Structure formats: structure tokens, C-alpha cells
A and B are shown apart, each in its own frame.
Chain A
Amino acid sequence: MPESVDTRRLKLTNEERTEGVLLGFRCLECDTVIFGPGTFCQRCTSAKLEPMEFSQTGILYSYTVVRIPSAGWPGPVPYILAQVELSEGPQVLAELVDCLEDALEIGMPVELTLQLVQGEDSSAAKVVYKWRPANQPSPTAEVDP
């Protein structure tokens, strides 16, 4: 079974590995919320952290269409890289799928979606978190096993 691309950032929540939730923490001393792993608070260095799960939606803060990818990028070219602000505050960078370039607009609502990404080595398939426009029917199966 494919694993989460990073178990500290994405927890898979069903058997089929088609659903998941982004992970982070809240600092119990200064209330700061951070996406991803942490042992100490980025802001105040406290170790009193409470794990948290983020909501499934966010707002498009900025985006780019990457036409010359980095070496080792296993996905399609070009691809849309989205900078998304979660309602809880942190920003998350990931690919935006199921969206035409002309439909992109800063401020548009997006939602979390998962895709299976085959690495260059066939044994290295990972479930990767991505964004897609919110409130529209999915044109593709979320994860093709």
C-alpha cells in the first residue's frame, strides 16, 4: 500500500487511501498554529504543543504555472503550484489540479484532494496532498490504485 508523502504532514484516514487530513500543531502557550511537524513552537520555543488537524479548505493566496520543473519532478508539465492559506492561518504549497489556467484567480476557494504519485522508481509511489477548486464535481477518480 502506498504511504503518505510525509506522515508528519498528511494522515491518511481510510483503507483505500483516498482520504486524508493535513496535520500540524497549536502552541498551548502562545496559540500559534503551524502546518507540519514540530517539537517546539516556531514562535515562542515552547514544547507544550497540541497536535491538530486542519480543515479541508483554503483560499488561493498566489499561484504559478511551472513550465520548467526541478529535476526529479514526477508529475505533468506544466503544473500549477498553489500557495494556499488555510482558515487556521498557515500557508501550504502544493500542486493545484482539475483547474484550467484561465480559471485561476487569487482568492478563489480550494479544497484538499489526494493523488497517487508514482516516483521515478516504481516502488516509490506516494499519496500526495494537492488542491483543487472547491465545490466542483471531480472529473477524475481521486486516487487511481
Chain B
Amino acid sequence: MTQFRPGRQVMVAGVGLHPFGRFPGKDLPTLALEAVVPALGDAGVQWRDIQVAYFGHVYYNGMSMGEGALGRLGLTGIPIINVENACSSGSTAFWQAYWGITTGIFDLALAFGAEKVPRGPVTVTAEDSPERYIGADHMMAGYALRMRRYMMETGASETALAQVAVKARQNASLNPYSHRKETNSVEDVLQSRMIADPLTLFQCCPTSEGAAAAVLVAEDALSRYSIDKARAIRIAAAVLTSGGYNGKGSDHSAFSPYRTEPAALEAYEVSGLKPEDVDLVQVHDAATIGELQQLEALHLIPFGEAWRATEDGRTAITGDIPTNTDGGLLAMGHPFGATGIRMIHETVLQLRQEAGPRQVKNARVGLAECSGAGDVTTVHILTR
């Protein structure tokens, strides 16, 4: 399974986040830099020290937006690469930064992502695609198909699904950076506007604006940049896969709800860690059903049982599998290019014990999983 062998140990030296929400007065570069500058400060490095930068974003705001944003910090001439990999764009940028360092090409890299997602249902294909006539290009309808099937196969109740959204809001209420601030009840979730049966509005992530950034460094270069080793977080695995043959037809999330599994197995193999070693997890909960199926695909909960684990409180911050501790896509919000790095941000805070009121006790191993159209999956495991 393993296609690549990591080389040098890579660490996350610093992270930064712009709040998620709606910011009509701010352009994309401004959002991005309000995450990048704090990340550089958190790492204690200068912009001029960065050797390569990867920028995750999806929606068109002009060409070469990575260059456009970072140019405002000074034209240092380093390679800057714009990355589009759907909802996994940010985590793909992070993955590229990791591989640039572990292979020995770079010592200090920046991964960042920013997005201003338009309002309304998210589509994947081009405007003149046949899918628009067929009616299948609707991200949340895809999740609704998965949800209906899951409920039929596992006996999961609508109440259990709604509890995923309630928990997300509870966690987000402890997070000053979240798009959604108000907590709600199972009844609120089930009675919110129906988007695609059985998926209600509050079981779908909001479309958001926001930005996130991370500074990555080779462990053997920590002292050269005077980075505080005690705050640096180790990257134990960085895996990216695209859709393999799924036996059901071409790419559609409804066809491959457990597409994360191969990437997860590779991440466990590379890191030498097991699912039971994971202390907290961030997963791609674009819809409530997404969280349940990702937890199962990651082998953190047996297949078909994540809904019951949620009902039993096992995925809460105080449970044994704390999941989406910052509110996740459902309540933190989902600015595509930023989301994958937002997950890294939360994991790093937790492993440093800097997560404040949402701190998971004694967190030592964190896993971040992010998925996107094209059956893209990233799995990163971080340790302290």
C-alpha cells in the first residue's frame, strides 16, 4: 500500500487562523494574510526565511492568488504554488509542504488556504455539464443519498444524526473563531429547513469565508531558525489518495462513502500508530452523515456503530473519541481552501494543550481527515 517512504522528520512550527464566517469588506489576500502573519509569529520565523509556499483555494478570485497575497509581505522570489483539490485543497497544500521538506528539498515551508465560498448549494461540475440537466450535481443531495442508505443498513435514527450537529454547535460555542456561535437542540436540527431529505439545513455545513495557515519545518533545522522545540508538533503521517476504482461507477460521493479507508490504513502503517492510539480526531463533516462514516472508515469505531457512539457521547470533547473539537465543518464553517489547514490548526492547539475550554485531556496523538470531490482524501497524524 505505501507508495512513498518519508525521509526527514517534519514538524508543524506554527499555525494561524482567520475567523470563519462572512466578511464582505475583505478581499481574499487580506483574509489569507490575517492567517499567515499569525502563523509566522506563532512559529517565531520571518517571512523572508520561508523557502516555498503552497496555497489552497477553489473559487476563482483572479489568477495566482497565492502570489497576490504573499506579495504584500515582500517579493522574496520563492516558489509559490496554487493548489486546487476541491474541499481538500488546504490539506493538499499542507501535504505538499510536508513532502517538500521530508524529501530534503526545503527546510522551512508555508501552507495556507483561504476562500470566499458563494452562497447556495455547492456544485462540482462546469455550468454547461450534462449533470445540470440530470440533477445529480448537488453536494448535499449526495450526502442525503448516503444518509438514507446508512440509516436503512444500520438502524440509525434521525435523532442520532441530529446529535452530530448538536455536538458540533456545542464545540463551536467554545471557539471564538467559529462561523456558528449559537448552540441548538436535536429538535432545532430536525425542524430546520429540509435541503434534501433526510438532510436538514443544520445538518449541512455553512458556506463560509476564512483562512488558515501552518508553518512546517525540518526537525533538524529547528535550531537554525531558533524555533521552540517544545511547541513544535511532529507530523507522523501525511497521506493523500484520489479515488480508486469503487465498483459502482465514476466519482460520486454517494458511490464511495468509505473512500477514506485506504488513506487511513496507510497513515497508520507509516506512523506505526493504531486507531486506539488516537486521542482526538478532526473529520470531514460537510454533513452529519459524513462524520459518522469517516469515523468508521478511519477504523476508530466499527462500521455501522458511529451513530450509537455519538448518542452515547463518545465523540464529545469529554468522550473517548473526541471528534471535531473546534466545531468541524458543520459549525466552524467550511471555506474550502482553508478547511484542511483549520483541522491542522485545531490539532496543533490540542496537542500543545493550548485549546482552552475545549481542551481534550492529555491529548498526545491527533488525526485530521479531509475529503473532496474527485474522491480526494487526506489523512494527517500529528503527535507531541
The chain A residues found within 8 Å of chain B, CB to CB, are: 5-6, 9, 32, 34-36, 42-43, 61-75, 79, 81, 83, 85, 89-95, 106, 117, 119, 126, 128-129
Contact = CB atoms under 8 A, between A and B. Distances in A.
A67 B195 contact: yes
Q: On chain B, which size bracket covers the interface?
A: 35 or more
Contacts of A75: 135
A81 B145 contact: yes
A67 B121 contact: no
Interface string B233-264: 00000000000010111101011000000000
Given A73-B132, A83-B254, A35 B249 contact: yes
Contact of A106 (B122, B152, B197): B152
A81 B245 CA distance: 23
A81 B196 contact: yes
Nearest to A91: B248
Contacts of A128: 133-134
Given A62-B145, A64-B148, A81-B196, A93 B134 contact: yes
A62 B148 contact: yes
A5 B149 contact: no
Interface of B: 120-123, 127, 130, 132-138, 141, 144-146, 148-149, 152, 193-199, 245, 247-250, 252, 254-255
Contacts of B130: 5-6, 9, 126
A71 B135 contact: no
Of the candidates B135, B137, B247, the one having the most CB atoms from chain A within 10 angstroms of its own CB is B135
Nearest to A35: B249
B199 A64 contact: yes
B341 to A, nearest CB: 27
A9 to B, nearest CB: 8
Contact of B138 (A69, A85, A119): A69
Contact of B133 (A89, A90, A93, A119): A119
